Structure 1
Amino acid sequence: MIYPIVMYGDPVLRQRASNIEPGTDVHQLIEDMYETMHNASGIGLAAPQIGKGIRLFVVDGSVIEDEPAMADFKKAFINPVVLDETGAPWEYEEGCLSIPNIREKVTRRERVTIKYFDADWVEHEERYDGMKARIIQHEYDHIEGKMFVDYLTPLKRRLLKGKLSDISKGKVDTEYRIAAPLKK
C-alpha cells in the first residue's frame, strides 16, 4: 500500500516518536514504507512521514547509481538509538520527501554508531560512514521530531518561509500523493 507523504507543518513531524512494542509484527508496514518511498523516488522514509508517530525508518541507497558502496544498503531500523556521531563535519545538499523541491546544504558528522532492531526483532549495533551515515542521521532526525531545515541559518529559514508555508498548504508539485496539514 502506498501512503501519502505528510508535508512540512504537520505536528506529527515535530513530535518525538514512540517506541514500538518489541515483538510487534511490522513486516507489512515496512513493505508499505518501501513501496511508498520508492514511489516517491526517495532513499529514506521515517514512519512520521506517513503519519505514524513510531520509531521506525527504512532506507534504500541502492538507487544511488554513482555510489557502488550503496548497492546493498537496504534496511529497516526499529526503535533505533544513535550511540555516537564522530568524524569530521561535512556539508552536503539534502532534500526531504516532506519538504519537496527544496534542497539545502546541511553539515553532519561523517560516522554514526546506531543500535536498532530489524524486522525480525534481532538487535544490531553497527557503525556507518559517509553517505550511509548521512541517510541514517537524516531519518533518525525525523523520529526525534527534527527536520533538515532546522540546521539552516535563521536567514536561510526566513528566505524559505514562503515556500515552506506553501508546502504546508499543499501548494507544491510532486509526483507522489501528499497529506498537507493546512490544505483547504
Structure 2
Amino acid sequence: MNGSRTSLFLRRSTAAIVALTAFLVAVLALSDQLKPSASWVYCSFVDCTPPPPPAPPLPSIKLLKAADLDGLDGGRSKSGRMSDIQVSITNNPVGQADTFVASWVWSGSGGSQGGSQNVVLDMKSKDGATVFTYTSGIDRSHCYYAPGNRETRQGSITGEASLIDIIAVRITEVTGKQGGC
C-alpha cells in the first residue's frame, strides 16, 4: 500500500507540474502578444516618447574691429581710406571648417583710383602670434566718394580660430597705373 500511495503521489505531482508548465508557457506567449497593448496603455498615462538627441554644439562667433587707416601709393601719397573694418570669426563644431567674414568701406576720396592694392588681415592670438593671414585685392576701379564702397570677403581659416583675439590690418602700396580722385 505504501508503494501505491507513493506512485499515486508521483503521478499527481507530475501531472500538476506538466499543467503548471503548460500554463506558464501560455502566459509567456500571451504576454509577448500583449506587450504592444500593455505599452500603449502604460504610455497613455506616462510620456514614453524617447528624449530627442542632444543638439549639436553651436558655433561661437567673435567680432573683431580695427581702426580706420589710410592707404599709400608708391610715392607715399594717400591712395584712399579704409574704414569700418571688422572681421567676424566663426569657430565651428568639430568636423566643420572655422570661417571668417571680413568687411570694410573703401574710399579713394583725396587719393587715387586704378592700379592694384591689397589689404592684409593678420588674425592674431592674445599674445600677438599670427594664427591666420588673409590677403585680398581692394576694388580701386572708381574713386568711391563718401560714403565709400563696402567690400566683403569670406573664407575658411586654416588655423585654430578659437585663439584669434586681435585683428591687425595692413594696406599694401599701389602698383600699376593710377589716376587722381
With normalisation by structure 2, the TM-score equals: 0.26
Tell which structure's C-alpha radius of gyration is larger.
Answer: 2
With normalisation by structure 1, the TM-score equals: 0.26
Larger helix proportion of the pair: 1
- With CA pairs under 8 Å and 6+ residues apart, which has the higher RCO, 1 or 2? 1
Larger strand proportion of the pair: 2
